[in-house]
Chains A and B, each alone.
Chain A
Amino acid sequence: MMQLNVLIAGVGGQGTLLASRVLGRYALAQGSDCKLSEVHGMSQRGGSVVTHVKMGEKVYSPVIEPGGADVLLAFEALEAARYAHYVKKGGMIIVSTQKIMPMSVVTGSAKYPGDILDKLTEMGYNMVKVDAVGTAERAGNIRAANIVMIGCMAKLLKIDYGQMRKAVGESVPQKSLEVNLKAFEEGFNAIKLP
């Protein structure tokens, strides 16, 4: 049985919750135990949000510990850095190259570290950078960037295409089904395995 801890980080409104629910559905279909820890409320208003996905034989705590994530799926570069220490040795950061300025940067009291992804690479993290927004736009809707990321992750972890696609199909609203399936496909194909 696949044991997998995925931390999904982003900015409130980017669809981290939906992405985690896709993974939850996938886990359940595999017969795994699964827990997701979600964020509702205040921080969804444009704040930093993080959702935990844990699957395996038996899951107790719904929360991933620092150093416990197999994959950090980050929808924004700064958020990748904020949660990088959750990734375990040998784990992977899959990051959308999108940059969203926090208010402290907008008002000039802080600087957005432009080279943050290079810094993470230097620190030894195994980084996969994805143009998720561009890919989603090509698929027909920039809001499907979250599902693009799921496609990328499925390919990188060698997860069965059909089964994850099914989980996507069952998790997204009916009216945006087609765009999301396309986004999933584009995300999957955007990754070239060596």
Chain B
Amino acid sequence: MKKLLIGNAAVARGAYEAGVRVACAYPGTPSTEITEEISKYDEIYSEWSPNEKVALEVAIGASIGGARAICCMKHVGVNVAADPLFTFSYTGVNGGLVLVCADDPGMHSSQNEQDSRRYALAAHVPMLEPSDSQEAKDFTRLAFEISENYDTPAMLRLTTRVAHSQSVVELSDPERVELKPYAKDAAKYVMVPANARERHKAVERRMKALAEDCNGLPINRIEYGDRSVGIICSGNVYQYVKEALPQASVLKLGMVHPLPQRLIREFAKNVEQLYIAEELEPVIETQVKAMGISCKGKELFTVQGEYSAGMIRQAITGEAKAALQPVLVPPRPPVLCAGCPHRGVFYVLNKLRLTVSSDIGCYSLGASKPLNAIDAVLCMGASIGMAHGMEKARGREFARKAVAVIGDSTFIHSGITGLIDAVYNKGNLTLIILDNSTTGMTGHQHHPASGFTIKNEPTHLLNLEALCLACGASSVRVVDSYDMEGLENAIKEETGRDGVSVIIARRSCVLLDKGRKNYYTVNAKCTNCKLCLRLGCPAITSGEKASAIDKSLCTACGLCKKVCRFGAVEEAQR
């Protein structure tokens, strides 16, 4: 049967067809849908883990236990999971293990555009890179075979354009894969120095074998055409090359680590001018040049953002299509939704003019105008450490005008250790946990403090208040996120107090709350002072004489009524 699938759903299908038993992930665009799709298969145990490191460790346990296991994350997730990855590369697998990582050239939804191919090189693991959904499925299956045949974790690299593009996939039946027997094997799995030294040799042997064998792997293939131009490429860039220069000769790499050196030499010999077209870092180019082969790469192509057929055509042939000038219009960046419980918190923080070290999530949008409330955003969990470090740099008085802000999912991901650090090292810190009871940014995944599993089954609910107290916070209080007065008082009190305080601003994500009976309207008392516009609510628009509220967007959160000094906002029934 043929189906249109996004690359992520195709990876999920590949995992199912490969007989995967265990799937673990922490969400992250553009990888999230893989595990969401996998969770629909009853044959596969799946979970949202609290972070990528734990996810990989659970998958590793499953592999050692004899099952095929898959673990999925976005590119920066690999930073978090790197520690287990680098040593699991030494132990190798029992059941096959595939780590899927989704890079985001162009940063559609990310804080950097690091290139995870470098991880494959650094950790000495093979990496496959599909160029469409059919390959996403096929390469997932192949990755499990490679993993088991070469006793190694295998990585599958996607980029946003492959992960989130739909193309036609031919579905097949799942393989029957038995659980491998488990036997204690300390020399292989106990990575103390004496054993690890031996395993490091095994790593070297297997990578040499792979480097030889990948020359004959059908997913690395030469397509000869006009031999005056030869292009080495992989992933979605292959598609751009085929569209831009259908006549050119192409070496398409399905495996991007290790590289098939014999095939590359053969191709280089048979084409007049060799080009390497690769998004992000010159990973292939550096290796090809180190082989003593001359080629053109980053002198023509940028390390920034996404490529396209047009830019490849221009770079190689020099011919540019007549430049089409975009019409200049006001930008439309994303905004906090109407009724978002984060809005009131940032309105208050902006009003109090505090230094805010924030974190990653929907609430990063608190940095945009008009809320303008955020001073720093780095990586998941960093808000707390950064706030602690600012106090250590600038002193106690500075900390009285500063807070750290973090989402509930992000706090569990990697904020808890930061909180422990601040307490342990006698910091003075006010932490605001934005508890909307979901992982909002990535499309509403459950987490340990939402009380449900990936399959929507009720489970143990992590009690954030008790957790913060156990970490040693001297004050923990809960405020309704819509209660701006309560928030303001709490923030003033807690920043004035010595020690580490936690304010949990609690209210579910408005997108999860469907039944909306009321809405707000603007009455004749509006003086057009425009104070309500400072909330940055997409339901409120400014007019010539008065503000107006879009009934279809309003969720009756009531923040505008609270900020209005003239009683010009009133509730109405739908």
Contact = CB atoms under 8 A, between A and B. Distances in A.
Our verdict on whether A and B bind, yes or no, reads yes
Interface of A: 11-12, 21, 24-25, 28, 33-48, 59-63, 65-67, 78-79, 81-82, 84-86, 101-113, 116, 119-120, 123, 142
Contacts of A84: 326-327
A25 B4 contact: yes
B334 A46 contact: yes
B331 A107 contact: no
B335 A103 contact: yes
Given A48-B333, A84-B326, A106-B533, 10 more contacts: A12-B334, A42-B108, A46-B332, A47-B333, A59-B167, A61-B239, A61-B240, A61-B242, A66-B324, A107-B533
Contact of B333 (A103, A108, A116): A103
10 closest A-B pairs by beta carbon, nearest first, are A41-B109, A47-B334, A41-B29, A110-B330, A62-B165, A45-B334, A102-B332, A85-B324, A48-B332, A42-B109
B165 A36 contact: yes
B321 interface: yes
B335 A28 contact: no
Contacts of B325: 85
B512 interface: no
B343 interface: no
Among B6, B132, B329, B538, find the residue whose CB has the most chain A CB atoms closer than 10 A.
Answer: B329
A108 B333 CA distance: 15
Nearest to A109: B369
A130 to B, nearest CB: 18
B199 interface: no
B334 A44 contact: yes
Given A34-B168, A38-B166, A43-B334, A103 B362 contact: no
Given A47-B335, A84-B327, A110-B330, A28 B167 contact: no
A119 B328 CA distance: 12
B168 A106 contact: no
B330 A39 contact: no
A82 B164 CA distance: 22
A63 B166 contact: no
Interface string B236-258: 10011011000000000000000
B240 A105 contact: no
B92 interface: no
A165 B574 CA distance: 32
Contacts of A103: 332-333, 335, 368-370, 536, 538
A37 to B, nearest CB: 5
Contact of B332 (A59, A66, A78): A78
B370 A39 contact: no
Nearest to B338: A46
Nearest to B165: A62
A107 B441 CA distance: 24
29 contacts: A35-B166, A37-B164, A37-B166, A38-B164, A40-B30, A40-B164, A41-B441, A43-B109, A46-B538, A47-B332, A48-B331, A48-B332, A61-B240, A62-B165, A62-B166, A63-B240, A66-B310, A66-B321, A78-B329, A85-B326, A103-B335, A103-B538, A104-B331, A107-B369, A108-B533, A108-B542, A119-B327, A123-B327, A142-B552
Contacts of B2: 28
Contacts of A60: 239-240, 242-243, 309
B369 A35 contact: no
B464 interface: no
Given A41-B109, A42-B441, A113 B329 contact: yes
A61 B309 contact: yes
Contacts of A43: 108-109, 333-334
B395 interface: no
B332 A34 contact: no
A111 B180 CA distance: 65
A48 B442 CA distance: 17
A82 B161 contact: no
Given A78-B329, A79-B332, A113-B329, A28 B538 contact: no
B331 A45 contact: no
A188 to B, nearest CB: 23
Nearest to A20: B166
B327 A37 contact: no
Name the residue in A24, A40, A65, A101 with the highest tally of chain B Cβ atoms < 10 Å from its Cβ: A40
B243 A78 contact: no
Interface in B20-65: 29-30, 32-33
B330 A78 contact: yes
A66 B441 CA distance: 30
B556 interface: no
A36 B4 contact: yes
B30 A41 contact: yes
A45 B330 contact: no
B540 interface: yes
B503 interface: no
Contacts of B335: 45-47, 103
